[in-house]
Structure 1
Amino acid sequence: MATPIDPTATAFLLAENRNMPMHVGGLQLFKKPEGAGRGYVRELFEAMSSPEEIAPLFLKRPYRSLRTGGQLFWRPDEQFDIEHHVRHSALPKPGRVRELLELCSRLHSTRLAWERPLWEAHVIEGLRDGRVAMYTKTHHALLDGVSAMRLLASVLSTDPDQRDMPPPWGARPRRGRAESAADKDAAEVSVSALRTALGLTVEAAGLPTALVKTITKGLRNQTSALSFYAPRTIFNQDITGSRRFAAQDWPVERLRAIGKATGTTINDVVMAMCSGAMRTYLQELDALPDAPLVAMVPVGLNAKQSQIASAEGGNAVGAVMVQLATDLADPARRLASIHRSMKDGKEALSSMTPVQILAMSALGQAPAILTPLLRMQGIVRPPYNLIISNVPGPRTAHYWNGAEMLGTYPLSIPINGMALNITCTSYNGLMCFGLTGCRRTVPRLQRMLAHLDDELTALERAAGV
């Protein structure tokens, strides 16, 4: 049965082109269970490619025709071919992480075809240390990064002896009348929230009061929930379709110790690591602007209760525009500046209702969306230079049918005018960084990993830990 595609998902589908694939991805590393034989990876692949039933979300594909009046619909793929979606790959020798990241970079560069459901999964062997990798990609019209993380967590277990877990695309038993968050269709959730938000005109009418103060700060180029100006950088230009992916993890305890010693948060320390890495990277290329870079940072807030509060706890998601203080040479001063910027942005959003937060976030995103759409790069200054997000993950070790997940690294979406995306995921005491950039626009992306490591050490030294 065909169902209309909601406006948000439609926008992701229509914005896509060869240079701008609109899918999110993930790379997971697994340790083989004790006693696994030489054929373990083949057995793992066969188990993942033969679930008892495919979840409906992973069966639908976009469709439009004269009969639909040109409107996009989801409809089930009547010729679904699991072998197209689940694939088995092997790395060339010497089987280093370098070869793995290069493969993921190439896989992440290709678009997903509309004539099939918009997802792929690759089981990858050949790492010389014996680990097994899985790379997945899913169109943003189906799932965003947070939903994808929740879906992955829903099929993992803290029990290493459990052996009846389906792959993420396998159907799971219904849990009574109430579905879990991972089982919900992301499109249905978006439509429901949109309809409710549009109906709350009285509450949204209060936006101008909260908006005046925020816009004033934005126009002054101060810290704010809104940004109208960011310096031009090499990241803010048209991109190609080729991607480069870099990933590494650091112990969360190192970040926590810095935060405790300086009165800042772990997220502030993540931002400071990225700030220092960006500063060094751009200095090497003789491309560091005098003005500080601005990052768009999605944040979860315990906003005021309203009719659109989430059934999962009333959280609202907004976007804070953070000045990264890349004009400051001292790591301690950069961290303090970022902390103030984050705090100020959160305070601006916390004074608003959830409807107002949605409107404010949309207003802040508008320049970034409209500029490439109207082909105005180089004419209009970007509202921010890059996106940095931090998605919380499981705090303890998790397993898939006995295989321990050792790390999980997100791959995201660069767009025209925004050639670099940094996404972090916490897992089992690690902060896992995933850097996704345009291969041509962001040269030598992997060097940023060394800069991140150097900056973490510099922050520890400055904090005295």
Structure 2
Amino acid sequence: MVSPIDPSSTAFLLAENRNMPMHVGGLQLFEKPEGAGPDYIRNMYLQMRDVDEISPLFLKHPHRSLRTAGQLVWRPDEQFDIDHHVRHSALPEPGRIRELLDLCSRLHSTRLAWERPLWEAHIIEGLADGRVAMYTKTHHALVDGISAMRLLQSVLSTDPDERDMPAPWGARPPAPRREPSDAERELAELPATALRTALGITAEAAGLPGALVRTLGKGLRNETSSLSLHAPRTILNQKITGSRRFAAQDWPVERLRAIGKATGTTLNDVVLAMCSGAMRTYLIELGALPEAPLVAMVPVGLNAKQSHIASADGGNAVGAVMVQLATDRPDPADRLASIHRSMVDGKEALSSMTPVQILAMSALGQAPAILGPALRMQGIVRPPYNLIISNVPGPRTTHYWNGAKMVGTYPLSIPINGMALNITCTSYDGRMMFGLTGCRRTVPHLQRLLTHLDDEVAALEKAVAA
């Protein structure tokens, strides 16, 4: 039975090409339970593969034909092959994290074929320390980063002795229905035309002009806002290739939170300041730091209107705040203070809008990023922002999958033409875990950013103590 594909998912499918795969990914690290035998990883793979029933979400693939009048629809895969989707891989010696990240980089570079359901999972052995890894990728038309995190969490347990945990793609009993919130009702009533294009600002956004005038005014004055019109050109803002490089590392949340507490800023502000300082050092090394500050697009949740909380604290990321990263400032404390002001200003701009208006403003902010590559105008149209930095909340306590302790979870995301680097973070069990995904050619020596991130944490701590 076929079903329609919603406009936003259609956009992700149609935007995809060989150089720009549109899937998100995740890398999880597990410690084997005590007493695990030599066949443990093989058995883990078989448990993941040999499921009784596959969830309908993981059985559908995109399709269009004369019968669908050329429109994209979801169609169930009548020849579903679980061995194609769930695979057992091994690392070459010496089995370091470096070899694991290289493998994930290659796996993340290839497109998912439309004739099959749009997901893959790889159980990976061969790490020298005995841990087992799982890399998964799923098309953004199926799930976004937050949904993927919730799906993973739903098959994990806080009980190390619990067994019979299903694979993420296994069918489960439907969850009890709940009444939607007012914001969800309003979002559900959006007409398809409002999401169909990047400029989907229709009569549904009535009431926007006041907020729009204020935001446009700040954008034109190059002040912080939820709309950016003044991002400088950088090496990140050019056409990309399909090859990816992935780097990952984590830091204690309390270490970052202490910086925020001492400066009156949020955890998310500190994460952005880490990225700011790291990007500044990285671009200086390459002789490519622009005089104007870099601008980051930071996804925020619909609940920002009610609570002024960014996506780091929950919610579905449908709006965006454009944050000046203050990369023109040499002092780390000054950068953090500037980023904090930028985030507060952006959240205040969104707090005066309804969810429909947030979507409309987000579409307006995204238009130059989408239209530039689409019309082959990179280098002519000025980029609205330089990179994407998002923060997805994860479990706060230790979780297990059938006795295997999850000790790390690192997100992989989507670089696009004109935006060659994506930094996504997720919090888990007291640690903030960074995943950096970039075009292998456009963003050289991506792994150096990990050292610069670590140096920036130390620099912020020194600035706070001074």
If the TM-score is normalised by the length of the shorter chain, which range does it land in?
over 0.9
Could you tell me how far apart the structure 1 residues matched to 2:358 and 2:339 are? 21
Give the equivalent residue in structure 2 for 1:70: 70
Offset at residue 58 of structure 1 (A): 0.1
- 1:118 and 2:114 are equivalent in the alignment: no
Q: CA, structure 1 residues 190+43, in 2 after alignment: closer, same or farther (shift >3 Å)?
A: farther
Offset at residue 34 of structure 1 (A): 1.1
Could you tell me how far apart the structure 2 residues matched to 1:315 and 1:124 are? 31
Q: Read off the aligned partner of 1:374 and give its amino acid letter.
A: L
Contact 1:239 1:440 in 2 (8 A): yes
Give the equivalent residue in structure 2 for 1:309: none
Task: Report the identity percentage.
Answer: 81
Could you tell me how far apart the structure 1 residues matched to 2:303 and 2:178 are? 23
TM-superposition CA deviations, 1:9-38 (whole Å, max 9, x none) = 111111111000000000000010111100
Offset at residue 68 of structure 1 (A): 1.1
TM-superposition CA deviations, 1:383-439 (whole Å, max 9, x none) = 000000011110000111111110100000000000000000000000000000000
Q: Read off the aligned partner of 2:87 and give its amino acid letter.
A: R
Offset at residue 444 of structure 1 (A): 0.2
Give the equivalent residue in structure 1 for 2:311: none
Q: CA, structure 1 residues 191+213, in 2 after alignment: closer, same or farther (shift >3 Å)?
A: closer
Contact 1:32 1:131 in 2 (8 A): yes
Could you tell me how far apart the structure 1 residues matched to 2:389 and 2:168 are? 26
Could you tell me how far apart the structure 1 residues matched to 2:320 and 2:118 are? 27
Could you tell me how far apart the structure 2 residues matched to 1:147 and 1:314 are? 10
Could you tell me how far apart the structure 1 residues matched to 2:328 and 2:27 are? 33
Q: CA, structure 1 residues 317+270, in 2 after alignment: closer, same or farther (shift >3 Å)?
A: same
Offset at residue 66 of structure 1 (A): 1.3
- 1:22 and 2:22 are equivalent in the alignment: yes
Question: Structure 2 length as normaliser, TM-score?
Answer: 0.93
Could you tell me how far apart the structure 1 residues matched to 2:253 and 2:315 are? 27
Could you tell me how far apart the structure 2 residues matched to 1:180 and 1:173 are? 20
Could you tell me how far apart the structure 1 residues matched to 2:115 and 2:227 are? 39
Offset at residue 5 of structure 1 (A): 1.1
TM-superposition CA deviations, 1:314-341 (whole Å, max 9, x none) = 9774200000000000000000010101
Could you tell me how far apart the structure 2 residues matched to 1:56 and 1:420 are? 33
Q: Read off the aligned partner of 1:153 and give its amino acid letter.
A: Q
Q: How many aligned positions are there? A: 452
Could you tell me how far apart the structure 1 residues matched to 2:402 and 2:271 are? 32
Offset at residue 193 of structure 1 (A): 5.3
Secondary structure of the structure 2 residue equivalent to 1:194: coil
Offset at residue 180 of structure 1 (A): 12
Give the equivalent residue in structure 1 for 2:79: 79
Offset at residue 46 of structure 1 (A): 0.2
Offset at residue 192 of structure 1 (A): 3.5
Could you tell me how far apart the structure 1 residues matched to 2:187 and 2:83 are? 32
Contact 1:302 1:316 in 2 (8 A): no
Q: CA, structure 1 residues 202+179, in 2 after alignment: closer, same or farther (shift >3 Å)?
A: closer
RMSD in angstroms over aligned alpha carbons? Answer: 2.2
TM-superposition CA deviations, 1:275-301 (whole Å, max 9, x none) = 000000000000000000000001225
Secondary structure of the structure 1 residue equivalent to 2:191: helix
Contact 1:125 1:133 in 2 (8 A): yes
Off by >6 Å, runs of 4+ in structure 1: 188-191, 199-203, 313-316
Give the equivalent residue in structure 2 for 1:185: none
Contact 1:276 1:331 in 2 (8 A): yes
Q: Read off the aligned partner of 1:39 and give its amino acid letter.
A: D
Secondary structure of the structure 2 residue equivalent to 1:275: helix
Offset at residue 304 of structure 1 (A): 5.1
TM-superposition CA deviations, 1:175-216 (whole Å, max 9, x none) = 3445999xxxxxx99993533996997762110011111100
Could you tell me how far apart the structure 2 residues matched to 1:36 and 1:190 are? 50
Could you tell me how far apart the structure 1 residues matched to 2:321 and 2:359 are? 12
Give the equivalent residue in structure 2 for 1:253: 254
Q: 2:191 aligns with which of 185, 190, 195?
A: 195
